[in-house]
Structure 1
Amino acid sequence: MTGLGAVFRPQLPPERLRVLARLADDTGLEELWLWEDCFLEGGISTAAAALAWTERVRIGVGLLPVPLRNVAVTAMETATLHRMFPGRAIVGVGHGVQDWMGQVGARVESPVTLLREHLLALRALLRGERLTTEGRYVRLDDVGLDWPPLGPDTVPVLAGATGPRSLRLSGEAADGTVLTAGTPPEGVRRARQLIDEGRESAGRTDPHQVVVYLLTATGPDGPARLRAELAEMDLGAVPDLGVAGDAGAVAKAVQRLADAGADTVVLQPTADEADPEAFIRFAAQEVRPLVP
């Protein structure tokens, strides 16, 4: 079954999250995703609050920019979420937007190297290992979590990736991949190929979840709003990107991404969405029944 979620965009003030998280929970939406975009809202703080306010919906963080975070802190916070809310937190990490990283003095010479080192250390710490490593960016001396996640199952760590090197790395060193709303169905197919190349090089045969955002606009002005946002993202010329229309049109767009290799599709409202509550209801009550 294709998973379905929606994004709480951080252009909304954080005090709006409680109502929207509870609405996602009550309407049966499977996943609500949050962003740690600079300089809007923190990913872990909003995820913890959303998890505490709800009972069943899974909360995704896509993504935590690794240049901003020591890997031990990422591991501590991720483990804490999984112990308090077992099976409901989804944590993804990524390079971060390089201009933003430069603004805070955290830009590194090799983002791919940093992401690789962060992923390998993070997954080891979450497995309960005690780790000593001396990498180019990640350095740990006899570090282990006193409160690692409970249970025998490995806590999945997802990676955000766009370029070929990052996608291969995600297949090699992460448990899943998050693709941006700038990824059309053909882009998902290509991403799957590159991810599988990385998995093959690492000898991995475990499942690898692919999550992709789908820019979605509803209502009579939906097509115009979608075109405007794609133009703002410099993606207006990319074919088959985003969807505007009713639940049937959105469900067909979700299915195209699923057929291309997406396991979960997360509906991303436009930044000017006037009624985010209605958008959550639309995703859960109108689109979900139409998605196999």
Structure 2
Amino acid sequence: MTSLGAVFLPQLPPERLREVALAADASGLDELWLWEDCFFEGGVSTAAAALAWTERVRVGVGLLPVPLRNAALAAMEAAVLHRTFPGRAELVLGHGVQSWMAQVGARVASPLTLLEEHLRAQRRLLAGEEVTTSGRYVSLEGVRLDWPPTGPVRVLTGAEGPKTLELAGRAADGTVLVAGTTPDRLREARSRIDVGRAAAGRTDDHRVVVYLLAATGPDAAERMARSRASWSLPDERGVCVAGTAEEVAGAVRALADAGADVVVLQPTADDPDPAAFAAFAGEQVRPLLA
């Protein structure tokens, strides 16, 4: 069965994370996802808090912008989460929004090169290897984690364009796709990922996570119209869903049929009760996917 998650939007103050995390954990929801959007909340600190407050729900961070992080430090942070909460952490690396990267003085000339170098170093470090590499952006000399994860872990990336999707297939263990990805666009994305996987000779599993903008409740249609406009999403079938648990589950199934391993419901920014949205996803939508 395709896993189901929900997003805690960073536009909410961090003190509200606990109630949403607990609601997700209690509802039977598979995953809770966090964002590291500038300049709201740090992804690693919020993930650690959510994991500590909960017992079973997986917590993903999608995504950590690599221009903001040294590869060795990122691996250290990831390893601590994986060792402290085995099997429950999922970290995603990505380009970041380029205007934000420029704003903090971290924008690079070739984001694609940086991401590939970072992904390759990250996968080796988290596998417990000693890494020496001298790339355009990532340079490590004899670096080995003293406390690597105790077993294999995935390193995912976020991707939109064809070049980054192919890179995801070559150098990552999974890909996160943004809200607004229709089933047809998901199939196209998977085909680009597969091109990269074939070029690298990879035959292992590749986890695809897709955000789905969703709303429920009496004013769901109105909130969704505002949210779709704010995200500049076209008014077409499969871009988002507003309605009952059955309608939301139908949209999730369409993405699952197109190749999604995980569908993460993204509430509207003006959702009146984010904890109730997480509970709705786990208690009402998830059972319909079995």
**TM bucket by the smaller chain?**
over 0.9
Post-superposition CA distance 1:105-125 (Å, at most 9, x none): 001111111000000000000
CA shift, 1:251, in A, is 0.3
Structure 1 stretches lacking a partner, 5+ long = none
Match of 2:91 in 1: 91
> Which among 259, 281, 284 is matched to residue 283 of structure 1?
281
CA distance in 1 between counterparts of 2:262 and 2:229 reads 25
What corresponds to 1:108 in structure 2?
A: 108
**What is the alpha-carbon distance in structure 2 between the residues aligned to residue 27 and residue 230 of structure 1?**
27
Cα displacement string for residues 166-220 of structure 1 (whole angstroms, at most 9, x for unaligned residues)? 0000011000000000211111100110011110000000000100000001112
Correspondences of 1:162-241 after superposition (within 5 Å) = 162-241=160-239
1:19 alignment partner in structure 2: 19
**Once the two structures are superposed, what CA deviation does each residue of 1:130-186 show, in whole Å capped at 9, x if it has no partner?**
1111100001111110110113xx210110000000000001100000000021111
Q: Could you tell me how far apart the structure 2 residues matched to 1:87 and 1:278 are?
A: 26
| Residue 72, structure 1, aligned to residue 76, structure 2 | no
Q: Counterparts of 1:284 and 1:272 in 2: how far apart (Å)?
A: 20
Superposition deviation, residue 25 in structure 1: 1.0
Residue equivalent to 2:3: 3
Q: Is the 8 A contact 2:168 2:193 kept in 1?
A: yes
**1:255 maps to which of 245, 253, 256:** 253
Provide TM-score, normalisation by structure 1: 0.98
SS at match of 2:114: helix
- SS of 1:67's equivalent? helix
Shift of 1:261: 0.5
CA distance in 1 between partners of 2:39 and 2:180 (Å): 21
Q: Relative to structure 2, which stretch is displaced further, 104-113 or 20-29? A: 20-29
Distance 2:160 2:225 in 1: 22
Superposed, 1:108-187 pairs within 5 Å as 108-151=108-151, 154-187=152-185
Q: Is the 8 A contact 1:227 1:236 kept in 2?
A: no
Q: How well do the aligned residues superpose, as a CA RMSD in angstroms?
A: 0.9
2:63 aligned counterpart, secondary structure: strand
In 2, distance between residues paired with 1:21 and 1:123?
A: 28
2:175 counterpart letter in structure 1: T
Which one-letter code corresponds to 1:54 in the other structure?
T
Give the conservation status (yes or no) of the 8 Å contact 1:94–1:161. yes
Percent identical residues = 67
Matched residues, number = 290
Q: CA deviation at 1:240?
A: 2.4
SS of the aligned residue for 1:214 comes to: strand
User: Which is further off, 229-238 or 178-187?
Assistant: 229-238
Distance in 2 (CA, whole Å) between partners of 1:240 and 1:251 is 12
Which amino acid is 1:86 matched to?
Answer: P
Distance in 2 between the 1:270 and 1:234 partners?
13
Gaps of 5+ in 2: none
- Structure 1 CA distance for aligned equivalents of residues 278 and 230 of structure 2: 24
- What is the deviation of 1:239? 4.1
Deviation for aligned residue 1:236: 2.9
**In structure 2, what residue type is equivalent to 1:44?**
V
Moved over 4 A (4+): none
Contact residue 23 and residue 276 of structure 2 kept, 8 A? no
Letter in structure 2 aligned against 1:3 = S
